[in-house]
Amino acid sequence: MNSTIMIEGIRYYRERPATCSQCYFWKNRKAGCVLGEENCYYLAMPPKKNNPCEGCCYGPCVSFCMKKVLGQKGVPANA
């Protein structure tokens, strides 16, 4: 198993270059990485995304968010 390192709370394989600009997939400062941060070749685990539906008593919504429709700031603990 490859060893990993943690950078800003995200786990990468140890072979990752010190900076993205030294990576094979880096295009330039304006364009950045051709893979995108979420698809980094060196990611050991995908970064966790905030899921606005987690714990929602209305979810999962299909075409629109019920919290937004009803104008709620928070979700009630017991629905």
- pLDDT (0 to 100) of residue 19: 87
Single pTM value for the model: 0.50
- Residue 65, both tokens: 């968010």
pLDDT, tens digit only, all 79 positions of the chain: 458 888 888 888 989 888 888 999 999 988 889 998 788 889 888 766 777 777 777 766 766 777 777 776 655 555 4
Hey, what are 24's tokens? 């094979």
Q: In terms of Cα–Cα distance, which of 36, 47, 44 is closest to 16?
A: 44
